[in-house]
Amino acid sequence: MKISGVMLSSASNILSMNCFRRALIKLTFSRYLKIQSIRLWASSTRKDESSPTSEENVEKSKASVEELLSDSVVGKEQKPTTPEEIWATTVYPKSERRIQARNRLAPRVDPRETSIILFPGQGAQAVGMGKDLLKFPVVKDLFEAASEILGYDLLKLCLNGPKEKLDKTIYCQPAIFVCSIAALERLVEERPASVENCVATAGFSVGEIAALVFAGSLTFENGKFISYDLDLNLVKVRAEAMQYASEITPCGMATVLYGPDSQLGYACLKAKEWCKEQGIENPVCKIANYLYPHCKVVAGNLKALEFLEKNASTYKLKRIRRLPVSGAFHTDLMRPAAEPFKAALKKADVKDPVISVHSNVDGKRYSNANHVIRQLPKQIYRSVKWEQTLHVLYERPEGEYFPKTFECGPGSSLKTILKMFNVMYCSITWMMEY
């Protein structure tokens, strides 16, 4: 099936992409020597981490089984057994502590001076976003180049709306991505040490692409900027493909608040069964976003969401609130969008991340460039394990210092989630747009 509008653009569009890249390199040039010294230091002091370990091989052998279990749900009398079931029923599952700085390809620094940088996803947009960043010259260049690639005035849309247009997936994702990259300029200008001492990064949904951009996936050779494909064009393909996929089947998303005695997994199972009875083939109803304890986003067919709303009390669900989106993102209904995105990603010159970048699919860090190419397309139709990611990022032994956190992008949605996860983490978090 061909998806209209997702093919790579003509030669004129490639020139626009190069303009965007030249603008972007102004933002990251100050970090280039630092990145190069890190790579040289890493190659001389430790083994190449890109080669799979025996533990990674074991994980690969389990991958097919884990994928089969990823959509499983908990019945009334059934105890949780899979990771997804456990995270839907308990607050803090037992797991091995993982210290992010351990995987960082850079000399160690005082833990109190380290940082974690997060990037928001769709839903964080608001009319007026990016206004306070225009005082940085490179930001105007980024928006101008982005507008050339996209074919419309992105800055005007961000500043003036209308909201109904900005909220559409096809416009929203590029807008959030560019604003997030622009917010890095403020961080570089105001807190340069936080960029240099970043030990890990992650992004929510489309924000993960911004996180990969930040993680050093670009090179400089003989003073010339080399092709860098985790960029606006990749986001453009993703947005157009997901917009198309969301129009194939009536579907949506809803935030669900529930308590310890709720039966969210079982409710999703019964919603799918009810949809089948209504003649819907291959219905979908699953947890799409793991936000924080006792709060998840469920996505699927509209009929399935209606079933949950009508039967919330039966399954002891406290509150269900529809989200203003037209698609069931991060479910199997988005699989048609994964193929064009995968094709675009395969053409990219993806580099090994310099710092730990954590995947939405499982919360684990990307081990190398090939891992990014394999894993990133899955993020479109697999659940966003944000709660699990935060658990990995911030779990520390008692008495150990926490890193500072910076949210680069519009709004403060990730800080709000972090506050629900742990107040201490939130107390040392800053937003870098407004």
Q: Is 330 a catalytic residue?
A: yes
- The SS3 call for residue 120 is coil
Q: Tell me: cis bond preceding 162? Omega within 30 of 0 counts.
A: yes
For 305, the token pair is 């969401």
CB 22 within 8 A of CB 137: no
Bridge partners, residue 296, by sequence: 256, 290
Phi, psi of 409 (to 5 degrees): 150, 180
Segment holding 234, helix H or strand E: helix 232-246
- Residues 175 and 301: their CA atoms lie apart, in Å, by 27
Q: Which of 330, 358, 371, 391 is catalytic?
A: 330
- Residues 412 and 420: their CA atoms lie apart, in Å, by 13
Q: Which of 115, 194, 205, 356 is catalytic?
A: 205
Q: Is 358 a catalytic residue?
A: no
Residues in Cβ contact with 180 at an 8 Å cutoff, skipping those fewer than 6 apart: 119, 120, 203, 207, 210, 408, 409, 410
Based on the number of CB atoms within 10 Å of its own CB, is 278 exposed (0-12), middle (13-18) or buried (19 or more)? Answer: exposed
- Residues 143 and 131: their CA atoms lie apart, in Å, by 11
CB 73 within 8 A of CB 375: no
- The SS3 call for residue 299 is strand
Closest to 3 in 3D by CA, of 389, 295, 400, 337: 337
Catalytic residues: 205, 330
